[in-house]
A and B are shown apart, each in its own frame.
Chain A
Amino acid sequence: MRPLKIVVLAKQVPDTRNVGTDAMKPDGTVNRGKLPTIYNPDDLHALELALNIKDRVPGTTVTVLTMGPKRAADIIRESYYRGADNGFMISDRRFGGADTLATSYTLAKGIEKLAPYDLILGGRQAIDGDTAQVGPQSAEKLNIPQVTYVEEVMSISDNEIVAKRRLEKGVETVSAPFPCLMTVHDSSPVCRSRQAKRVMQYKYARTQTELKSKSTEEYLRELHTKRPYLTIPEWGVEDIDAEMEKIGLSGSPTKVKSVESIVLTAEETKVLSDSDVDIEMMIKELIENHTIG
């Protein structure tokens, strides 16, 4: 079977699953700067699926594409540590404020630069928005078929991939031709860990922006001239030929009109201790008013 060219879309996200009290502002909103950033969990599942296909089909390459601020280069390094062959970053202030439509346009322009490709993989959704929209929207922009919620790849041939989808109420097996885009469900296998050897090899991988930074030591720059594969390519608006009106805020139809932190309150709250007496009193009240039988 011929080797495949796989592109994995990965996003760096604030860890909204562990919002500690220190990350909450007094008005109840989240201080994003205070949240640690992580590799979006579903995207790690997508990376694993890609690496699994690479194991099964010799010669297959796995390229990771991420879009985000400068610190998102961590995503590329992490992907290298776990087995990715290449990494590219889309990073430019002008992409900021993008909703899912503008994001998928930008990603699609980046993916087109990586053409030809056989398979685009991404997580089903990102934990900072849970929309699950960027996958299908990117597929539409690229004009290729989509297969969402993939749990397992059953078989691969030169022209076709067969995958099991995890639906709300069951499973479905579908076949799709190459090229296509798949979003990966978190019921698929978890991602393999970092390999020590690859960490040694790629820990000095940097973007141009990082290399230029004052805090970067000179020997790193020298290392990059000797080992150019360590330099993570960084693409801005012009590099991917993006149209200004389709990116960032201006390319985003949805706007946030207002946010409010809503504090719901009951009319009257009875506060009890964990003593037997208090609990028995409550249970008796509930039985009396027929809440419980």
Chain B
Amino acid sequence: MKSVFVYCEVENQKVAEISQELLSAGKRLAQKLGSPLEAMVFGAGLNNISKQIAPFGVDKIHVVDDTRLEPYTTLPHAAIASDILKREEPQIVLFGATSVGRDLAPRLASELSCGLTADCTILDIGDHYVSKEKKEYKDLLFAIRPAFGGSIMANIINWDMHPQMATVREGVMKKEIFDEKYQTEVISLAADKILNDEDFVVKVLERHIEESDVNLKESPIIVAGGYGVGSKENFDKLYQLADLLGGEVGGSRAAVDAGFIDHDRQIGQTGVTVRPKLYIAAGISGAIQHTAGMQEASLIISINNDPDAPMNKLADYVINGDISDVVPKMIQSYKKNAK
């Protein structure tokens, strides 16, 4: 049976959060297919890395441990992944839609001449009938993502050029341990057998990685603003409300593009996916591209002066009005009523 593969990102001997989420998503696909789940991980000092990976229900782990593989550079990682995938011929390969995954996956897809779908929000398995060939293809990957500026959901498939590859943003898939004691097989490969000097022509000279102090994913309350907020100054009111409620401020893509708020606070398909207790959408119309990243919030308040905004259909409370008016009233009312 053809397997499901996950490319695992690792830094300082730790498997990235996104890769753990992908292993969980990969396991669910593998179970639907009745096929094994395999992982590939390349980096430095990976002696015990399988302990972090196996519990997600991984049947086989392909490890390449070499100091030259960390930090990540495109060519050696692509050369090793391509070597493994050409030999193993998996059915599905998943990557994080991260700085690394979005650099690596397309290079590999080109080399393997296969299909790649970016930023999927749903992954599933299903059949497809190709009328031209009068043939039904069973058990294909359904790579589902918002398209055309987020107005529709598109189901992207690929039936003739395998493997089927997809990238997924962090936070979209739920991470779940499958079995703490899952038995896995570790296959160690020697980098030297695959790589040559030409794979190392791009050199990392300097690197500054900062952990962002914005933690939208973990925040129970999010006050998010859209283009309708109108200005950076109006966003200050959202910050006041968020501070008061003990929440974080996020923004739609339109608000980020307009310069009202920083990139690292973008919520939606091409930003962060959040599942807060309370989501206050201020001046956000509610394109699928945005709602894909927040629709699982427990409670949604939509403040908008357009009564027909799609966000209103999703909301538990709709307030028809202007941000500059409604938000200060909410602040005032909270101060008055909170114990």
Contact = CB atoms under 8 A, between A and B. Distances in A.
Interface in A20-52: 24, 28-30, 32
B209 A283 contact: no
Interface residues of A, number: 79
A29 B147 CA distance: 10
Interface string B149-161: 1011111111111
A115 interface: no
The secondary structure that dominates the A interface is mixed
Interface stretch (B43-51, B84-92, B314-322): B314-322
B157 A263 contact: no
A175 B205 contact: yes
Q: Which of B270, B318, B339 has the most CB of A within 10 A?
A: B318
The secondary structure that dominates the B interface is mixed
B315 A132 contact: no
A182 to B, nearest CB: 11
Given A170-B209, A174-B204, A253-B161, A16 B312 contact: no
Interface stretch (B53-61, B98-106, B174-182, B185-193): B98-106
A274 B329 contact: yes
Contacts of B131: none
Nearest to B207: A172
B158 A148 contact: no
A215 B254 CA distance: 38
Contact of A276 (B73, B314, B329): B329
A161 to B, nearest CB: 10
Contacts of A260: 152-153
Interface string A268-282: 111111101011101
Contacts of B253: 17
Interface stretch (A133-141, A198-206, A229-237): A133-141
B257 A162 contact: no
A265 B128 contact: no
Nearest to A24: B151
A1 interface: no
A253 B143 CA distance: 13
Contacts of A146: 74, 103, 107
11 contacts: A133-B106, A145-B201, A169-B209, A172-B208, A173-B206, A254-B115, A257-B128, A273-B319, A274-B319, A274-B322, A282-B319
Given A145-B75, A264-B313, 8 more contacts: A30-B148, A129-B147, A133-B105, A133-B116, A137-B109, A171-B207, A174-B73, A256-B155
Interface of B: 71, 73-75, 78, 98-99, 102-107, 109-111, 113-119, 128, 142-143, 147-149, 151-161, 201-212, 221, 245-246, 253-254, 257, 270, 277-278, 287-288, 291, 295, 298-301, 307, 310, 312-322, 325-326, 329-330, 333-334, 336-339
Interface of A: 16-17, 19, 24, 28-30, 32, 99-101, 104, 127-141, 145-149, 162, 167-177, 180, 252-266, 268-274, 276, 278-280, 282-284, 286-287, 291-293
